[in-house]
Amino acid sequence: MSKIKTAYFCQNCGYESTKWAGKCPGCQQWNTFVEELIQKDAKKGGAAGATDWQTYHEVPVTSRKIQPLHSVQTQETIRVQTPDEELNRVLGGGIVPGSIVLVAGEPGIGKSTLFLQMGLQLTESTVLYISGEESEQQVKMRADRLGMKNEHFYLLTETSTQAIFSEIKKLKPELIIVDSIQTLQSPFIESSPGSVSQIRECAAEFQQFAKETNTPVFLIGHITKEGSIAGPKILEHMVDTVLQFEGDRHHVYRILRTLKNRFGSTSELGIYQMNESGMAPVRNPSEILITQKEEALSGTSIATIMEGARPLLIEVQALVAQSVYGTPQRTVSGFDLRRLQLLLAVLEKRGGFHFGVKDVFLNLAGGLKVEDPSIDLAVLVALLSSYEDVPVRQEICFAGEVGLSGEIRAVSRIEQRIAEAEKLGFARIVVSKYNQKIAGSKKYGIEVVQMGQVEEVYRYLFS
């Protein structure tokens, strides 16, 4: 009788050790090691160790030889286009055959609904939906609610990877959706489902399947209470694409953001609207990110930002109030707090505004988290508008980065930003004068106002 083997795994990064340690050598975190049962000898051969892909799926063994790089033949990747334009965008133009995609998000955010909807829409492909969390009846009820039918859509409720691959061999699907990777269990690892070793082993088996059969696989995953993807960090390294599903369950809008993509840009996002019939892609997100107001209010401005290759117009809301405590508050939503403190310091030093005795609250409408530095100018204008209690004219939008000396710096892709503002009916856009060559090379139907210092913007808007 073989001896039961155990190992210790870090629950944060997946580091494996033969003995327990208080501090993980991999990620430097304390008290993250947990003992798990393993049985690695089963993989070395025999009937019990039939985890080889060739044994499961009758895939011929190919020999790999060393060859010079210049002799490697390349060809354009043919992507599978889905009816969902937002999903095509975040994937880099469509589904790449043989790719493995990890999708993570909070419970109830709509991950299962979105990819069940995608599978039902692909009527020309054989799709297998593997559910380890729900029964056939629950999945069928959701499909009925979506109001979609697909004769080539198949469902399997199973958690054992050996049974799953046996069914895959019979069906030979063209696309696989796994919901979720944390519920699967490989028979060659003795630990419970959801453990570090199980997640890593199950993901490795699906990765090998995807690469050797050229079949795309979508893995739906959980996230921890800290907001990171559950399981070892190596899980994100194993897959080709990582998508994060964000949003508030109490709001109708959801954001699908690309965190990693070996086949496209990592700064793309897709916006969806949750309704009774599933996830509806938002064609023009700029319209929903700008609040329609009957009268102008102080403390609001419109920023022109870029998310990947997509220009967006978003409303920035600021509230500056007299502090009632000894230490003024700084509260932000969707914006970097340290960046806000930097802009307040610029206004204090260069403009003489006394924000040091004021509470400052900043919010980006729509639940977006923006890292584009071109939003600086709109944030600064919203702060000044609330400070002076003077509204900014609604037909003006802004695009510019603010430097420490109070200068307005040039931003990239200024033509696309101006075109988007013009399409939405804005009359003026304030940009950096250092974008003069770019912005002045074309005639627009919108007035392009070019400025170089924060003082000029203040005089232009509030004098």
Per-residue pLDDT of the chain (463 residues; tens, 9 = 90+): 456 678 888 877 778 888 899 999 888 888 888 887 776 544 443 333 344 444 444 444 455 788 899 888 887 778 999 999 999 999 988 999 999 999 998 888 889 999 999 999 999 999 999 999 899 999 999 999 998 888 999 999 999 999 999 999 999 999 999 998 999 999 888 778 888 888 888 999 999 999 999 999 999 998 877 777 877 788 888 999 999 988 766 677 888 989 999 998 887 888 898 888 888 998 888 877 887 776 778 999 999 999 877 899 999 999 999 988 778 999 999 899 999 999 999 999 988 898 988 999 999 987 788 889 999 999 999 999 999 999 999 899 999 999 999 999 999 889 889 989 998 889 999 999 988 655 445 677 899 999 999 999 999 999 8
What is the SS3 assignment for 339? helix
Q: Is 440 annotated as a binding residue?
A: no
Q: Is 107 annotated as a binding residue?
A: yes
Domain with CATH 3.30.230.10 in the chain: 287-462
Q: Which fold has domain 287-462?
A: Ribosomal Protein S5; domain 2 (3.30.230)
**Residue 82: which of 143, 123, 131 has the closest Cα?**
123
Q: Is 109 annotated as a binding residue?
A: yes
155 secondary structure, DSSP code: E
**Res 367: pLDDT:** 75
Q: Is 106 annotated as a binding residue?
A: yes
Q: What is the Cα gyration radius of the chain?
A: 26
87 secondary structure, DSSP code: H
Q: Is 205 annotated as a binding residue?
A: no
At the top level of CATH, the class of 82-283 is alpha beta
**Res 95: pLDDT:** 94
| Right CATH for 5-43 from 3.40.50, 1.10.20, 2.20.28, 1.10.150 | 2.20.28
Do residues 282 and 272 lie in contact, with contact meaning Cβ atoms separated by under 8 Å? yes
Q: Is 246 annotated as a binding residue?
A: no
Beta bridge partners of 321: 359
Q: Is 326 annotated as a binding residue?
A: no
**Res 326: pLDDT:** 79
Task: List, in order, residues 6 or more apart from 73 with CB less than 8 Å away.
Answer: none
**Res 291: pLDDT:** 74
Do residues 296 and 393 lie in contact, with contact meaning Cβ atoms separated by under 8 Å? yes
Q: Is 112 annotated as a binding residue?
A: yes
**Res 125: pLDDT:** 92
Domain with CATH 2.20.28 in the chain: 5-43
**Distance between CA 206 and CA 210 in Å, rounded?**
6
406 secondary structure, DSSP code: S
CA dihedral over 51, 55, 58, 64, signed as positive or negative: positive
